[in-house]
């Protein structure tokens, strides 16, 4: 079992990696609240919300026109897991490699505490307060 400090350190490392990746590849989230949550965490580049009115396949095709890799960061509830699989299938069918490590790490580090992207900023803030940062 990780201490709150270890958990915070690992989460901040994952978010730093995501911030760096977002400089050149899209980070795909479910909706605008997720976009806002990532902005609060300093991830402002190439964040794309899926729910913009187009189908998953149309969305995947538009991503493939500009990028060969993408990060999928859907929520980690049942619906988000299903959506992540559909996005992965759609993107890979269009030649886009999906980077799944980031989502997996965030899910592991925040499970039981938070279930979605939109809850991450508050969760991280609580961790910072609990360890005195």
Instruction: Please report the pLDDT score of residue 18 as a whole number.
Output: 97
> What residue ranges in the chain does DSSP mark as E strands?
27-29, 47-49, 69-72, 97-99
Residue 47 pLDDT: 97
Task: Give residue 53's pLDDT.
Answer: 75
Residue 97: other Cβ atoms inside 10 A:
13
Please report, in tens digits, the pLDDT of each residue of the chain (133 residues total). 889 999 999 999 999 999 999 999 999 999 999 999 999 999 999 999 997 678 999 999 999 999 999 999 999 999 999 999 999 999 999 999 999 999 999 999 998 899 999 999 999 999 999 998 8
The confidence score (pLDDT) of residue 1 equals 83
| Cα(98)–Cα(77) distance, integer angstroms | 19
Specify burial of residue 107 (Cβ count, 10 A radius: 0-12, 13-18, 19+).
Answer: middle
C-alpha distance across the termini of the chain, in Å: 21
Report the predicted TM-score, pTM, of the whole model to 2 decimal places: 0.93
- Are 26 and 48 spatial neighbours (Cβ–Cβ below 8 Å)? yes
Can you give the pLDDT at residue 16? 97
Q: Could you give the CA distance from residue 3 to residue 5 in angstroms, rounded to a whole number?
A: 5
Give the rounded distance of the alpha carbon of 51 from its chain centre: 15
Work out the number of other CB atoms within 10 angstroms of the CB of residue 104.
Answer: 13
Catalogue all structural domains in the chain, each as residue range(s) with its CATH number: 4-119 (3.40.1360.10)
């Amino acid at each position: 079992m990780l201490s709150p400090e270890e958990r915070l350190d690992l989460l901040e490392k994952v978010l730093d990696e995501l911030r760096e990746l977002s400089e050149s590849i899209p980070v795909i989230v479910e909706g605008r609240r997720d976009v806002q949550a990532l902005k609060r965490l300093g991830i402002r580049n190439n964040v794309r919300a899926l729910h913009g009115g187009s189908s998953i396949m149309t969305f995947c095709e538009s991503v493939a026109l500009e990028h060969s890799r993408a990060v999928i960061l859907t929520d980690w509830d049942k619906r988000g897991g299903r959506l992540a699989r559909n996005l992965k299938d759609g993107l890979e069918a269009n030649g886009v490699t999906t980077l799944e490590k980031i989502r997996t790490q965030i899910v592991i580090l925040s499970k039981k505490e938070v279930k979605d992207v939109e809850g991450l900023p508050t969760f991280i803030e609580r961790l910072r307060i609990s360890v005195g940062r």
